[in-house]
């Protein structure tokens, strides 16, 4: 069982082991959606979006040179509906439950997390005693599906009882998700009706409204009370850093003499200089900063094993 107050903050890299694209790969796929003949373009046409409309969206996103689709749509309100449908069409085709049938998933940090959560837990109701909260910037529900199947099969529960336990585990999707799980099943699909339902679950937060957003306020409160914060697969996009408001949270703690909050991060694909700049962008005086250079999510947890204790 995880006994220290810990918040995990997940970026696109945390879902890559389970069949989902990186932020750059998602961008590349979205920039192709107006191409005639592609399955995703056909799906969007059935949803009522013409190739011309998707082409305008794709070219604008491409030529914006902005890496994050969330950052782009927060500025281009006219593309929000098309953008959400395009995101859903790309990702609904990736929600594949069969990927978890294999035991050789590279960087399988879900396995490590679950085994830490269930250690010394003898009945399912006690899973909620794990002192973890999860903030995810991803739309997919792979973690929820993984935990659902793990809980159900570990404790031999009926579906309805498993859902009840799952819903007590604190998971927040900053930008929404591809429909509420389990009401919207975790499955590979290019069905227009499923894509439309998934798109309705995606949230675009205009930059001038974030401080009034309930989810944003809740995750900031989580971060403020955490003993440990662990970033996994997180790209540290400037908009996402801003929305976490972590620099203000840390500064407030320093002002009252509290410097006991630790921040850990996977550093895969980041240079030492980039990690140093990220630290300074969060708070220049931060000393309790523990990056694991050139490692993905699982090795970050293994190098900081106390996070799972």
pLDDT digits (tens, 9 = 90+) for 41-57: 888 889 999 888 999 99
> What string of pLDDT tens digits covers the 309 residues of the chain?
999 999 999 999 999 999 999 999 999 999 988 787 778 888 888 999 988 899 999 999 999 999 999 999 999 999 999 999 999 999 999 999 999 998 889 999 999 999 999 999 999 999 999 999 999 999 999 999 999 999 999 999 999 999 999 999 999 999 999 998 888 999 999 899 999 999 999 999 876 677 788 999 999 999 999 999 999 999 999 889 989 998 888 878 766 666 678 999 999 999 999 998 888 888 766 668 899 999 999 999 999 999 999
Task: Scan for tokens 């990690």, then name that residue.
Answer: 275
**What is residue 258's predicted lDDT score, i.e. its pLDDT?**
65
Environment class of 53 (CB within 10 Å of its CB; exposed 0-12, middle 13-18, buried 19+): middle
Q: What DSSP character marks residue 12?
A: G
Q: What DSSP character marks residue 106?
A: T
Task: Scan for tokens 């929820």, then name that residue.
Answer: 144
pLDDT digits (tens, 9 = 90+) for 113-161: 999 999 999 999 999 999 999 999 999 999 999 999 999 999 999 999 9
On whether the CB atoms of residues 24 and 119 are closer than 8 A, the answer is: no
Task: Scan for tokens 């003993």, then name that residue.
Answer: 227
Q: How far is CA 86 from the centre of its chain?
A: 18
Peptide bond preceding 182 in cis form (omega within 30 of 0): yes
Please tell me the distance from the alpha carbon of residue 239 to that of residue 190, in angstroms, as a whole number.
Answer: 30
On whether the CB atoms of residues 205 and 216 are closer than 8 A, the answer is: yes
Return the number of other C-beta atoms located less than 10 Å from residue 91's C-beta.
Answer: 24
Which pairs from 77-81 meet CB under 8 Å and 24+ separation?
Answer: 77/206, 80/204, 81/199
> Treating both helix axes as pointing N-terminal to C-terminal, what angle do 51-64 and 23-30 enclose, rounded to 10 degrees?
140
- Domain layout of the chain by residue ranges: 1-19+98-173+206-309, 23-92
User: Residue 286 phi/psi, 5° resolution?
Assistant: -65, 125
Question: Positive or negative CA dihedral for 57, 60, 63, 69?
Answer: negative
Structure tokens at 79: 């593309």
Smallest Cα–Cα separation from 154: which of 106, 200, 121? 121
- Tallying the residues shown for the chain, one arrives at 309
Smallest Cα–Cα separation from 281: which of 233, 232, 244, 229? 244
**CATH code reported for the domain at 1-19+98-173+206-309:** 3.40.50
pLDDT digits (tens, 9 = 90+) for 199-212: 999 999 876 677 78
Please tell me the distance from the alpha carbon of residue 23 to that of residue 69, in angstroms, as a whole number.
Answer: 8
């Amino acid at each position: 069982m995880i006994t220290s107050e810990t918040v995990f903050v997940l970026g696109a890299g945390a879902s890559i082991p389970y069949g989902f694209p990186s932020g750059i790969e998602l961008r590349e796929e979205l920039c192709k959606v107006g191409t005639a003949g592609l399955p995703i373009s056909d799906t969007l046409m059935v949803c009522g979006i013409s190739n011309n409309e998707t082409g305008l969206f794709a070219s604008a996103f491409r030529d914006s040179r902005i890496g994050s689709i969330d950052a782009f749509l927060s500025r281009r309100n006219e593309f929000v509906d098309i953008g959400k449908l395009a995101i859903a069409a790309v990702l609904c085709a990736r929600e594949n439950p069969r990927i978890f049938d294999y035991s050789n998933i590279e960087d399988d940090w879900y396995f490590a997390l679950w085994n830490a959560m269930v250690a010394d837990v003898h009945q399912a109701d006690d899973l909620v005693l794990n002192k973890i909260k999860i903030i995810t910037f991803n739309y997919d529900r792979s973690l929820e599906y993984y935990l659902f199947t793990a809980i159900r099969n570990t404790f031999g529960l009926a579906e309805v009882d498993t859902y009840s336990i799952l819903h007590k585990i604190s998971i927040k999707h900053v930008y929404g998700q591809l429909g509420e799980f389990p009401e919207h099943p975790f499955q590979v699909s290019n069905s227009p009706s499923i894509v439309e339902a998934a798109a309705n679950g995606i949230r675009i937060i205009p930059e001038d409204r974030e401080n009034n957003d309930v989810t944003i306020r809740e995750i900031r409160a989580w971060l403020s009370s955490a003993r440990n914060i662990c970033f996994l697969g997180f790209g540290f996009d400037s908009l996402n850093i801003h929305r976490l408001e972590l620099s203000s949270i840390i500064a407030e703690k320093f002002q009252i003499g509290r410097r006991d909050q630790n921040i850990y991060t996977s550093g895969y694909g980041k240079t030492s200089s980039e990690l140093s700049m990220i630290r300074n962008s969060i708070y220049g005086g931060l000393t309790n900063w523990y990056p694991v250079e050139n490692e993905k999510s699982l090795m970050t947890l293994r190098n900081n094993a106390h996070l799972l204790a």
